[in-house]
Structure formats: C-alpha cells, structure tokens
A and B are shown apart, each in its own frame.
Chain A
Amino acid sequence: MSGFKLPYNLIIAGVGGQGNVLISQLIARVFIRKGFTAVVGETYGVSQRGGSVMSHVRISRERVSAPIIPKGHGDLILGLEPMESLRILRDFGNPGIFTLTNTRPVEPIDVISGNLAYPDLPAIMRAIETLSNQAWFVPASKLALEMGNSLFTNMIMVGALIGAGKLPLTEQNFVDILHQYMPDKTFEDNLAAIRKGIAAIEKTSVEKR
C-alpha cells in the first residue's frame, strides 16, 4: 500500500445534494472500524442550496487530527464533479496528490440561466491531470443513470476509490458498514454501485508517471 502516510488527508468535493456528506462518513467509519482514528469536517449551512460542498476526511493513528486539512496538504481528492475537483486542487493540491473525479458537470445556476458558460471541460480535465501525481476520470454519473438513479454517483466513486488502490480499502469493508446502516434493498443497490466503480477504475485509469 504505497503512499499511505498518516495523517492521510482525503477531500470529497462536490455540490449540494450529491451525497458528499454520506460517503465521507462511510469512509471515516470504515477506518474507525479498522482501528484508525478518523475525523470529518464539512462545509455546511447555506452551502446546501446549490453551492459547493467539500468534506475533509482525515485518517490517523490515536491522535485526533483537526477536522480541517491545512491548505496544500491534500493526499487524495474524490471529486463528484469536475470543476469542484479542480477548485479543491487549487487550494489543497501538491505534486504528490491523487485525484479521482466524476466527469459529469453540475451546472451552477448562472450557467443554467445562460448568464455564464461552464468552463471548457477538456481543459478542466487537463488541468486536473497536470496538477495531480495521478488522475482517474470516472463516468460515474453516466454509470449511475444506467443503474436508474443519479443518486448512485457517490457510491460509484467510493468503488473507484477502492479500485484505485491508494488506501487500504476493500469492498468487504463497506459491506460490513453499509449492512448496519441501511435496509437490504438499498444495501444491494449500493453494493452494486460500489462494484461498478471498482470495475470502472480499471478502464479509466490514466497513468502519468
């Protein structure tokens, strides 16, 4: 498991309503279950109404870390939206950072209303690649819609996180935790989403170095 230094600083980036908060808690619980210490910091409040949302998950041994990662100290970004991934990279990126991002944009209200244009997507992806040690682009929203609900995007990205292999995470870790917190049907769906994410990462990996 190369690159697993402690505290490990994971940032989940997205937009209100993408289920960012849920997966940050799941990942933290998995690590606590493994005997690590984990804390989660969230941007909350009015940001839920269409704004950017990021969660910081910090994994350590024993000593509790601050729930906010210092600027420039991200280790991995799990992005649910491409522009949000880049927004986080700008502040928390460094030459060693890994980025996994969903490729489907969520348009800000000013884009929806035609007042602004969404920045050039291929350029965003290029920037993400340049600013990351290694980047993965996952069509998670597309895969989620194939499953019948865009809400699975976040779980597909959890699968991608497992698949990327930068953290000591397995599918089984999430099975144990998910079982505890959701009814069987939801559990099955979420597990399927995680598996899709794991499978997707093998196809989409873009090696840089």
Chain B
Amino acid sequence: MKHAHPITLNEPGRVELLMGNEAIARGALEAGVRVAAAYPGNPSSEIIETLAKAADPARLHVQWSVNEKVALEVAAGASFFGLRALAAMKQNGLNVAYDFLTNLNLSGTGGGLVLIVCDDPGGISSSNEQDTRYMARLTDIPLLEVAGFEDARDMIPYAFDLSEAIGSVVMVRSVTRISHGRGPVRYGPLPEISGTPRFVPGTTFVPFPILTKHQKRHDAIKRLERDFSDAPFNTYTGPDTPDLIIVTSGIGYLFSQESLDLLNLNGRVGIARLGTTWPLPEKWLSDILAKSQRFLVVEEIDPFLEGNLNEFIGRHPSLQRGKRVFGRQTGHIPDVGGLTPEHPLAALKTLLDIPYKTRPDSYETLVESESAGLVIERALGFCPGCPHRASFWSIKNALAKDGRGGVVTGDIGCYAMSMWPSGYQVAKTLQAMGSGAGVAAGMGVLGPMGKTQPVVAVCGDSTFFHAAIPALINARFNASNFVMIIVDNSATAMTGFQPHPGTGMTCMGQPVDPVEISDICHSLGVDVTILDPFNLEETEETILAALREKGIQVLIFKHMCALIEFKKAGRHYVMRVDSKKCIGEACGCDRYCTRVFRCPGLIWDPISGKARIDEAICTGCGVCADICPENAITREEA
C-alpha cells in the first residue's frame, strides 16, 4: 500500500485529495485513454506527469513530445488507429498546435480525441494571459470548461464520448486556479484496457472536400446547441425569479458561490454555471434568460461568454426586452487578469447596492500603521549554483568589452530571468518559444544597411528542440549573422525537470540515445563550440571572439541545472570568504560579489562589512571564486 501512486488504484468510491491536473488525468484513465502526449508548460504539466505513473507500453503510451503541435499530431495518430488519445498543453502551446488543429477539425477523428488546454489567467507562470476559448469557437469544435476538482474528473470521460459521437476533437479548458488547486475527488472504476490499434482500411482523415467537411462541422455544432441543454455540467441554483443571475464558468463558479454566501444573497441571486461554453445550449440558456432581466458574467479571462451571451440575446428577439448583461465589458469586473473572490463580490455590491465591509475600519487603520515599512518584496532570482547566472555574467561582460552595444534576444525558460537583475538585464526581447533565434536571424541580415551592433540569441536546450531549429536553418539559408548561445542545462527546468530528446530518457523511464544539439548544428554547417559556462574566463573570451566573426556562431554552454546536479552529485566545492582579503565596502569593489553577482549563497554581512558564504544555501558550484577581484573567495574540493 505504501507508495503505490494513488492515481492508479482501481477503488471506486475512494476519495483522494487531487490536484486539478491529477483529477483530469484520473478522468482520462477512467475513460480508457491509450495515448497521451504533451509538451511541458505551466499550468498543464502535471497531467502528463500523473499519467506517466500509470504508463505501460502495452496499454497506455505517455510521452513528452518535442512541441505541442507534435503532441497533438501524436494523439491524432492514435485516434486514427481507433484509440482514445489526449494532448495537453498550456495556452501558448495551443498556438503552436493550432495549424494542425485547424485542419484536424475538418479531417475528423477516429477514437475519441480530447485536447486539454490550461489557461493561465494573470500570466502567473507565462509570458501572456491569452484566453484560448475563442480558438475553439474559431475552429468549430466543442468547448467544455472545468469548474472544480470533481468536475475535472467527470468531464474527461464525457469529452471522450462526445468526441466519438461527433467524430471530431473536443477541447477541455482548465485554468491555473483549478489545475494547480487541490480538492477531494471521488474515484470511478477503471475500465479493462483491451483492443488492438487498427487503421480501418478504406477510411481517410483529410480535410477534403473542404466545403463538405466545413459544413459537417457547422452541422455538428448546431446539433450540440440542442444536445448541450441536457449536459450534466450546466446547472442552475437559486430562486425562480431572481433579481440577478450570475452566468459563470471555470473558477468563476466557486468564487460566485462564495460571494453569495458572504453577502447573504442566496435568496435573491441565482447562479447559472456553464460547463459547455461553446456552443451555448439553446433551450437551457433560453430558460435561464427568461428568469431574470439582469445578468452578471463571471469568467476568466476575456469576455468570451459575455460576448456570446449578448450575441445569443441578439439572435432571440423574444428574449430581448430590457435584458442587461454586466461583466468585463461594462467594467463591473476588471478588463484584464485572473479572477479573485473579490471580483464577483465587488460587482454584486455595485449592482445590488449592498453595503458590505470585510473588516472594520479600525482594523484597516491598524494594518496601515502597524505594517508600514515592514514588508518588502521578494525579487525572483536564479537558484544558487545555477549555470545561467554564470552564462549571463559572461555574456554581460563580453558585450561590455566588445563595446558596440550588442543586442541579446531572449527566449522562454528559467533563463527568461535574464531580463531582470538576476540575469544582469542582459536580454532585451522576449516573445514565443524559439523566437530569440528567429528574431536574431532577422536582425542579423541588417549588416548591409549599416547595422553595427552585434546580435546574440539565447536559447535553452528544450526550447531549441521545440522551435529554434527552423529559425536556425532559416538563418543559415539566408546568410544571417549572429551568435547563438544555447544554454544547455539538460532539463526543462522551469516546468519541473521533464526529460527532452537531449536527456536520453523518456517520461515512461525508457533510456534512449540522446539527440545531441551539437550534431544538429554541425549538420547545418555552422560553427559550434561547446564549453562549460563555469569557466568564466574561457566563456567570456569565446563569446568575445564569436561576436567578431561573420555568419552564425553556435556556442553551447553545457552545465547541468544546479537543482539536478546537487541532487545527483552533492557539493563540488567547500567555499569560504577569506575575511582578511575581502575588502568589502572599503575597496572600490563596492560589494561586487553580492550586489552585482547576486548568488543567494553569497551573502552580505552588514556587521562585519564583508561577504560571507551561507552554507545552508551554497551548492558549492565554485563560480564566485572567479569573480572576486581580490581573490578573497576560495574553493576547496569537497
């Protein structure tokens, strides 16, 4: 019993505290999923990680794919062979997969195919806060929205059935607060897994003839407008003739319930919770709209439901008289960002003119006076011993020595922190996965127009496989000029150390030959240098030399992520600051090591006025010994 992962237990009725993403994974297992693929990305990563615990080559194949488009293609391949399959991704990932999706919708599917997208309202761990629900509507595929933990499990088997019923992919959307929250989930039974994959002879999965296939999708959506009125995920609670109805989906549901409790409004306000947000359930929604004149839409992130509701009312003249819809478009909920429980609370206070105070004024005053100046922010930084710190240290120094105002294009990963002081504010651009290389390729052709500033693209190892390869080929083909630095820490560190093609291990724990980044680069005929960024002097010199070269110079900075290395190998060095040599504030170094280098393992001791190593935090990487101008920091083999 000990250590058996609870997700794999076939104990119907068992109640487990599951993360939303685990509940989604459990739902997929209960639906008999056979293939699951994804590229890691918060807040979606735990879906595949959880399924990997139940993986078994003969029954359930689980993989980290190289990017989201390939993940969806892999899942579709299984679907075409008659199996149930899913692909999971974060919001940005759907953009990558979208080209495939906009043809897959027309070509149709075989076995149930479910696309799970986890949006990140507020961009808590993302570069944007895109609302992907519009993309389901744009693609004519049905959209289900998870509103809680139990829901997350229930909805997945429903989505698989639905996909098979309409012969198309179904999108299930979750959000950070659910995917990364935890709640009790009651297990259903796990099915017997059987059936051999088979591509039925004579079938085709192609988008042609386009108009016929397009029409088919519209017909299916029309049918669902009718059928969704019976979907178990659309519920109404509240009085028969409420003063106002909250129309909500996703985490908005629980927040709305809470607001009604706090304001004591359960007798006056109803909640209409939509699990099927596209297409809207015709009959069900008409009944809801007949109950009241005023509606408050509570949703994340953009006014998707709000817009569709207004459109729905516009299409139904019988419903129109005096109906008012409030929400993000009317300013009752802020225009951007994720929801908090305060949002529906504030909107209800305004709309129903209710005085409500969370805490007495006297306490508010006390909070102000007592805590003033006592709470400071915690800036984000690279971990102690992180190889990125060393890499960006050298990039910063090389660019300064080069002196031509070089520009660094950044990319997505832990190393995105190179925009901030922890990475010495080196990176100046940041967009999508792999864009650092693509943008640099564009900058690198401006030489003949008189550009004098050199260009450096920074890219992680996982990002390289995901999307930087085409950009690099493009650069080589179009004779661009830049230095491409691949910071290879042998992991997808930011999202939780998932393996990738370069790490030599699949997520099912199968060892495979690693794909070497350097081999790929060599095959393109570009110059490749591999070095350890912890050799600060060599690294800086290599960058400086590369900046002066023409063409594309690939530099691979290879050093394992500190968190992994420390777990595997422990401390390399015992570090010490020699307090006799450390001249601290007096020297003109002006606390160079702690103020500028900013490793959390190296701390400033204001009492002695000298630097000091915090043994509890230092990973013993040894790098700081090289940055001290006085050689006051020493390293000794551990």
Interchain CB contact (< 8 A) of A40 among B183, B262, B602, B614:
B183
Count residues on chain A whose CB falls below 8 Å from chain B CBs: 64
Could you tell me the distance between the alpha carbons of A158 and B373 in the complex, rounded to whole angstroms? 29
Q: Tell me the smallest distance from the CB of A16 to a CB of chain B, in Å.
A: 9
Kindly list chain B residues whose C-beta atoms are within 8 Å of the C-beta of A46. 124-125, 380, 494
Whether A123 lies near B374 (C-beta < 8 A) is yes
**CB atoms of A109 and B600 under 8 A apart:** yes
CB pair A28–B258 under 8 Å, yes or no, is no
Question: Is B67 among interface residues, defined by CB-CB distance under 8 A?
Answer: no
A67 → chain B, closest Cβ, in Å?
4
Interface of chain A residues 113 through 137 with chain B (CB within 8 A): 113-120, 123-124, 126-127, 130-131
CB atoms of A110 and B616 under 8 A apart: no
B262 CB to closest chain A CB, in angstroms? 7
Stretch in contact with the other chain, from A87-95, A159-167, A188-196, A198-206: A87-95
Decide if A43 is an interface residue (CB 8 Å cutoff).
yes
Q: Are A124 and B598 within 8 A (Cβ)? A: no
Which stretch from B219-227, B358-366, B573-581 is at the chain A interface? B358-366
Contacts of A95 in B (CB 8 A): 359-360, 363
Contact B376 A116 (CB under 8 A): yes
Task: Tell me which of B150, B180, B383, B602 has the highest count of chain A C-beta atoms within 10 A of its own C-beta.
Answer: B180
**B262 contact from A25, A70, A114, Cβ within 8 A:** A70
B520 within 8 A of partner (CB) = no
User: With A49-B414, A65-B258, A68-B341 in contact, do A41 and B177 touch (Cβ < 8 Å)?
Assistant: yes
Residues of chain B within 8 A (CB-CB) of A68 are: 177, 255, 340-341
Asked if B124 and A43 make an inter-chain contact with CB atoms under 8 angstroms apart, the answer reads: yes
B451 CB to nearest chain A CB (Å): 34
Residue on A with the closest CB to B256? A66
Interface residues of A in 5-38 (CB under 8 A from B): 15, 25, 28-29, 32, 37-38
Q: What's the Cα separation between A27 and B490 when bound, in Å?
A: 35
Judge whether B176 and A44 touch: CB under 8 Å. yes
Q: A39-B183, A50-B600, A108-B378 given as contacts; is B370 within 8 A of A66 (CB)?
A: no
Residue of B nearest to A51 (CB): B378
Chain B residues whose C-beta falls within 8 Å of the C-beta of A87 in the assembled complex: 375
Instruction: Kindly supply a per-residue 1/0 record for chain B positions 602-626, scoring 1 wherever the CB is within 8 Å of any chain A CB and 0 otherwise.
Output: 1110100000001010000000000
In the complex, whether B238 has a CB less than 8 A from a CB of chain A is no
Cα–Cα, bound, A68→B180 (Å): 11
B58 at the interface (CB under 8 A from A): no
Contacts of B180 in A (CB 8 A): 41-42, 44
> Does A32 contact B600, Cβ atoms closer than 8 Å?
no
Chain A residues lying within 8 Å of B340, measured Cβ to Cβ, are 68, 70-71
Supposing A44-B180, A64-B183 touch, asked if A49 and B417 sit within 8 A by C-beta, the answer is yes
Q: Tell which of A37, A87, A181 has the most Cβ of chain B within 10 Å.
A: A87
Q: Within the assembled complex, what's the spacing in Å between the Cα atoms of A133 and B500? A: 51
Determine whether the beta carbon of B616 is less than 8 Å from that of A67.
Answer: no
150-202 of chain A: CB within 8 A of chain B: 150, 179-181, 183
B184 x A120 contact (CB < 8 A):
no
Binary flags per residue of A47-68, CB closer than 8 Å to B gives 1, else 0: 1011110000000000111111
Do the beta carbons of B604 and A114 come within 8 Å of each other? yes
A45 in contact (CB, < 8 A): yes
Least CB distance from B613 to A in Å reads 11
Instruction: Given the known inter-chain contacts A68-B340, A180-B1, please indicate yes or no for A108 contacting B376, CB distance below 8 A.
Output: yes
- Residue of A40, A41, A51, A124 near B17 (CB, 8 A) is A40
Number of interface residues of B (CB under 8 A): 65
The reply to whether B378 and A37 form a contact with Cβ atoms under 8 Å apart is no
A residues near B606, Cβ cutoff 8 Å: 114, 117
Once the chains bind, are A32 and B380 in contact (CB under 8 Å)? no
CB <8 Å contact, B150 and A90: no
**Min CB gap A19→B, angstroms:** 14
Tell me if A86 is interfacial: C-beta within 8 Å of chain B.
yes
A107 and B603 within 8 A (CB): yes
Chain B residues in 8 Å Cβ range of A37: 183-184
Q: Does A50 contact B341, Cβ atoms closer than 8 Å?
A: no
Which residues from B are CB-within-8-Å of A93?
359, 363, 367
- Taking A39-B149, A114-B594 as contacts, is the C-beta distance between A119 and B363 under 8 angstroms? no
**Cβ-closest chain B residue relative to A67:** B181
Q: Is the CB of B184 within 8 A of A112?
A: no
Q: Which residues in B have their C-beta under 8 angstroms from that of A120?
A: 374
Chain B residues in 8 Å Cβ range of A115 = 595
Q: Is B2 an interface residue when CB atoms closer than 8 A count as contact?
A: yes
Q: Nearest CB to that of B362 among chain A residues?
A: A95
Chain A contacts of B125 at CB under 8 A?
A: 44-46
Contact across chains for A66 and B371 when beta carbons are under 8 A apart: no
Which residue from chain A places its CB closest to the CB of B180 in the assembled complex? Answer: A44
B101 within 8 A of A: no
A84 to B397, CA, bound (A): 36
Residue of B nearest to A82 (CB): B374
* A interface footprint on B339-359 (CB within 8 Å = 1, 0 otherwise): 011100100000000000011
Q: Chain B residues near A3: list those with CB within 8 A.
A: none
Smallest CB-CB A-B distances: 7 pairs: A45-B125, A114-B604, A72-B358, A67-B181, A66-B254, A70-B341, A40-B182
Residues of B within 8 A of A (CB): 1-3, 15, 17, 42-43, 120, 124-125, 148-150, 176-178, 180-184, 251, 254-255, 257-258, 262, 340-342, 345, 358-360, 363, 366-367, 370-371, 373-383, 414, 417, 422, 494, 591, 594-595, 598, 600, 602-604, 606, 614, 616
Question: What are 11 residue pairs bridging A and B, where the CB atoms are less than 8 Å apart in the complex?
Answer: A28-B182, A41-B180, A49-B380, A64-B148, A64-B183, A70-B262, A70-B358, A71-B358, A72-B359, A109-B598, A124-B374
Further pairs besides A68-B341, A70-B345: 9, Cβ < 8 Å: A45-B42, A49-B383, A66-B257, A90-B371, A90-B375, A113-B598, A113-B603, A123-B374, A180-B1
